[in-house]
Amino acid sequence: MKIKAVGAYSAKQPLEPMDITRREPGPNDVKIEIAYCGVCHSDLHQVRSEWAGTVYPCVPGHEIVGRVVAVGDQVEKHAPGDLVGVGCIVDSCKHCEECEDGLENYCDHMTGTYNSPTPDEPGHTLGGYSQQIVVHERYVLRIRHPQEQLAAVAPLLCAGITTYSPLRHWQAGPGKKVGVVGIGGLGHMGIKLAHAMGAHVVAFTTSEAKREAAKALGADEVVNSRNADEMAAHLKSFDFILNTVAAPHNLDDFTTLLKRDGTMTLVGAPATPHKSPEVFNLIMKRRAIAGSMIGGIPETQEMLDFCAEHASWLI
């Protein structure tokens, strides 16, 4: 079926209207009328081919919310009229260890919502900057927020799960001191989620203009990472640091803030490599640097339900 979309025909062209083809729903598919789609910075990286490998035409968008308009005859979880979401994953192998553990995001054959190979026309997936999308029911998520909050729900499907997953995995919560580096699209979500989980939250920014905004988001303290005295006051004190900054920066400035056995997890996807950290900062306190990429389907559903429960704070 032909539908309207917005995408790019090359890395040097702006987004423009285009017609694309979606498959007709199969027995396990859900057809969704898209109401909102968030804009993720990775959309810009992909459209500009800054990570290389972009296939054109590129229709970005993986923060999709909308309403079910049709389902296949074997669909069990969703029905026409349901409010649903689709994040960064629209398929995976379904039988590897990662898929069986509900971590489809780490499946070697995970299919992204756009710019991933697919047998459907035109040979690669096309994302949410479009009128409709057809997705296997396994990768469609229930939305429990009211209709009037749907626009705010959309960013949860990438920025939300990208920050929720490491916060949960490294057990942010009461009694834990958690740092969030960067107060952009990911960082502001990380602050709100860590606060809602009950952690003591310290936000790091290079911009004095963001200090009050970070407090309003739920930060208990705000540190200007260019101020040596402010940084020194937090040496060896953090259980966990969520680093959302994609631009190259000195990781050692933050690893020294971790207490023994503390972990800093990187979620910002850089266009160029980071400089390697100072190894002695890690081995002398058994500190760790880790990475995390979005989240699996069960965890993404858990995150959406958590955000619906805490909607007065998170939306």
Q: Write the CATH number for 143.
A: 3.90.180.10
**Domain of residue 282, residue span:** 160-291
Q: How confident is the model at residue 311 (pLDDT cuts 50, 70, 90)?
A: confident
Please give the pLDDT value at position 313. 64
Same domain membership, residue 173 and residue 145: no
pLDDT tens-digit series, residues 267-289: 998 878 888 899 999 999 999 99
Same domain membership, residue 72 and residue 38: yes
Last residue of a domain, one of 156, 175, 202: 156
Same domain membership, residue 170 and residue 137: no
Same domain membership, residue 102 and residue 236: no
Same domain membership, residue 171 and residue 84: no
312 part of a folded domain: no
Please give the pLDDT value at position 315. 58
Same domain membership, residue 151 and residue 7: yes
pTM: 0.95
296 part of a folded domain: no
pLDDT tens-digit series, residues 255-268: 999 999 999 999 99
The DSSP secondary structure of 136-202, one letter per residue, reads: EGGG-EE--S-GGGHHHHGGGGTHHHHHHHHHHHTT--TT-EEEEE--SHHHHHHHHHHHHTT-EEE
Same domain membership, residue 220 and residue 93: no
142 part of a folded domain: yes
Last residue of a domain, one of 120, 135, 156: 156
The span from the first CA to the last CA of the chain, in angstroms, equals: 35
Q: With contact defined as beta carbons under 8 Å apart, do 178 and 218 qualify?
A: no
Residue identified by tokens 């040596």 is 228
Q: Say which residues have a Cβ less than 8 Å from residue 40's Cβ, sequence separation at least 6.
A: 60, 62, 63, 155, 158, 159, 185
301 part of a folded domain: no
Please give the pLDDT value at position 71. 98
303 part of a folded domain: no
Please give the pLDDT value at position 52. 85
313 part of a folded domain: no
d(CA 273, CA 265): 16
d(CA 210, CA 194): 18
Same domain membership, residue 123 and residue 89: yes
d(CA 66, CA 170): 32
Same domain membership, residue 254 and residue 117: no
310 part of a folded domain: no
Same domain membership, residue 133 and residue 24: yes
Please give the pLDDT value at position 275. 85
CATH number of the domain bearing residue 247? 3.40.50.720
Please give the pLDDT value at position 272. 80
User: Of 183, 177, 142, which Cα lies nearest the Cα of 307?
Assistant: 142
d(CA 243, CA 303): 19
Q: How confident is the model at residue 151 (pLDDT cuts 50, 70, 90)?
A: very high
Give me the number of domains the chain comprises.
2
d(CA 57, CA 126): 8
Last residue of a domain, one of 123, 156, 189: 156
d(CA 154, CA 61): 10
Please give the pLDDT value at position 314. 64
Same domain membership, residue 89 and residue 34: yes
300 part of a folded domain: no
pLDDT tens-digit series, residues 51-102: 889 999 999 999 999 999 999 999 999 999 999 999 999 999 999 999 999 9
Same domain membership, residue 55 and residue 40: yes
Structure tokens at 104: 């489809």
Relative to beta strand 83-86, strand 238-243 is unpaired
Peptide bond connecting 122 to the previous residue in cis, omega within 30 degrees of 0: yes
